[in-house]
Structure 1
Amino acid sequence: MFSFTLRRFWNKWKSYRHRFVPWVVLNLSKNEKTLRQVSEPSKDKLVPDEEVSATLLKLFRVLLRGHGVNREIRAGHPVCAQDAMLQCLGFCIDRRPSSLPSAGTGVFVTRGFVPRGVTVAMYPGAVYQPYEPILLQSIRNPFVFRCIDGVLVDGNDKGISKVLFRSCSGRDRMGPFLMSDTSWLTDCPLNPLAVGQYVNNCSNDRPANVCYQEYDVPDKFPVELRRFLPNVNYSQDAGRPVRCVVLVSLRDIHAGEELFSNYYTIVH
């Protein structure tokens, strides 16, 4: 009985410790190769927002043509999405069992070639401002991503996080136009980029080949293409742009390689 309780506690601790600040601080020096360091927040962006927008628009337009402007878009079209990705971006990514022991699911380049400095994936989820409540959603949730400015993105596709995302997405709908994509909550996301929450942390012998970059969706982003955005604001605020987090390649990545990122970025 005691060993069972201890084992359950240990499993929960392994999930929670990466959000326990004292543990993070004490363990930073043990794995310095897994840290990403920038001199100031503005230096955290490797690719201009304009290039990120251009990549997303190119892919989303092909996805829209494949499904029709006025047609309801549902999950279950992985072939179309993957083909669109290969056609537009020159590569495909997908979730598969990670090459790291006990790391669960990972994200791999399955076809094509990823050049350095391009958008490879998106981190989906509901977006919370630093002052908004996320305690219940964060319990046993390893998918809460913290941006440099304190904004949080809940990339969990199960439980209360899933329910809240669907609710917020339905709330923001403008007539026939969806403002966000809920298909990332399924096994077959319509937007094939929206699997970034499953990218595993790098290790001392598996260096990072992608990094996170914050991207605020501009007001001029076409309303008919917003249905492919895998992010939604937790609170309805017409004056605040939707925060997205994209993953950008740090080097050339070939088919068969797993994507690894730096979970921790230190700003000096």
Structure 2
Amino acid sequence: MLRELRRRWGSYKYRFVPWLALNLRRQRRTLRYVPESSQDKIIADEDVFETLLKTFKALFINDFSRQADILALLPEVKCQYLELLTVEQKRSKVNSCNHQGTVYRKHEPIFFQSLGNPFIFRCIDGVLIDGNDKGLSRSVFRSCSRRDQLGPFQMSDESWLTATPQNPLAVGQYVNNCSHEKAANVCYQEFDVPRHFPVELKQYLPNIVYSHDVESHLRCVVLVTLRDIKQGEELFSNYYTVVS
């Protein structure tokens, strides 16, 4: 019993704000600092939008089965943008995180989904993204996705819940936390999908909003490389961002 409680606390404590604040001061953490939330951008939102648009159009038109085929069609997508299309999952000694999933605003219920769930991403403004592909989280995502279907058009990508995702950019679950020995080479960047995003391409977005009580943009979190990534190199991000 105590062992199970300890395991669950180990999964939950990184979302318990008092514990996190106390331990950030006590322990030698790798932290990422930004002067203010509006400056938490490595590249412009316009560049993120254009990259997603070109990639999703390539998927929609050609129905590629191999990620390398998409790269061949997108020579203008530079490394410093979103060129994480050939990520391979391998064993790592570091816990991984996940950025795709159900998007919750601060006031929306997520307690039961959060139990034993290490895959919840907290945005700077308090928005939460539950990237767990199992249990209650999986059921909620599928329910919301099918709720929002518009005729023949899917409004989100459910395939990231399976072993064969149709969107090769849905790779957040493979990226691990950096350390003082292994510096971050990619960075999370929050991105709100504009309302004029083509409806036929939304089937490749691996995020869905929990409710529509308040009209808002769909929050996504993209990964942007901080430098050139060599073949076979493991990706590391930074789980702790401090806004000054």
Q: Does the pair score TM above 0.5?
A: yes
Structure 1 residues 24, 190: closer, same or farther in 2, change over 3 A?
A: same
2:28 to 3, 7, 31: 31
Amino acid in the other structure paired with 1:8: E
Aligned to 2:237: 261
- Structure 2: distance between partners of 1:93 and 1:49: 23
- Structure 1: distance between partners of 2:13 and 2:88: 25
Aligned to 2:89: 96
Structure 1 residues 82, 10: closer, same or farther in 2, change over 3 A?
A: farther
Residue 44 of structure 1, CA deviation: 0.5
Aligned to 1:59: 55
1:133 to 88, 100, 109: 109
* 1:73-99 per-position Cα deviation (integer Å, ceiling 9, x unaligned): xxxx7x334532454246633342343
Residue 20 of structure 1, CA deviation: 2.2
Aligned to 1:118: none
Aligned to 1:203: 179
Residue 31 of structure 1, CA deviation: 2.5
* 1:33-60 per-position Cα deviation (integer Å, ceiling 9, x unaligned): x110011001101111100011101110
Amino acid in the other structure paired with 1:200: N
- Structure 1: distance between partners of 2:119 and 2:84: 25
Structure 2 residue matching 1:57: 3-state secondary structure: helix
Q: How well do the aligned residues superpose, as a CA RMSD in angstroms?
A: 2.1
- Structure 1: distance between partners of 2:125 and 2:168: 27
Aligned to 2:223: 247
- Structure 2: distance between partners of 1:52 and 1:26: 35
After the TM superposition, which residues 1-268 of structure 1 pair with which residues of structure 2 at under 5 Å, given as runs? Answer: 5-29=1-25, 30-32=27-29, 34-67=30-63, 79-85=65-71, 87-88=73-74, 89=77, 92-99=85-92, 101=93, 103=94, 123-236=99-212, 239-268=215-244
* Identical-residue share of aligned pairs (%): 56
CA contact (8 A) 1:95 1:105 kept: no
Structure 1 residue matching 2:151: 3-state secondary structure: coil
Greater share of residues in strand: 1
CA contact (8 A) 1:127 1:234 kept: yes
CA contact (8 A) 1:180 1:229 kept: yes
Aligned to 1:117: none
Unpaired runs of 5+ in structure 1? 68-76, 107-121
- Structure 2: distance between partners of 1:204 and 1:156: 27
Structure 2 residue matching 1:246: 3-state secondary structure: strand
- Structure 2: distance between partners of 1:254 and 1:127: 32
CA contact (8 A) 2:186 2:226 kept: yes
Structure 2 residue matching 1:214: 3-state secondary structure: strand
- Structure 2: distance between partners of 1:258 and 1:169: 32
Residue 214 of structure 1, CA deviation: 0.7
Unpaired runs of 5+ in structure 2? 78-82
Structure 2 residue matching 1:194: 3-state secondary structure: coil
Amino acid in the other structure paired with 2:188: Y
* 1:78-127 per-position Cα deviation (integer Å, ceiling 9, x unaligned): x334532454246633342343x2x3668xxxxxxxxxxxxxxx921010
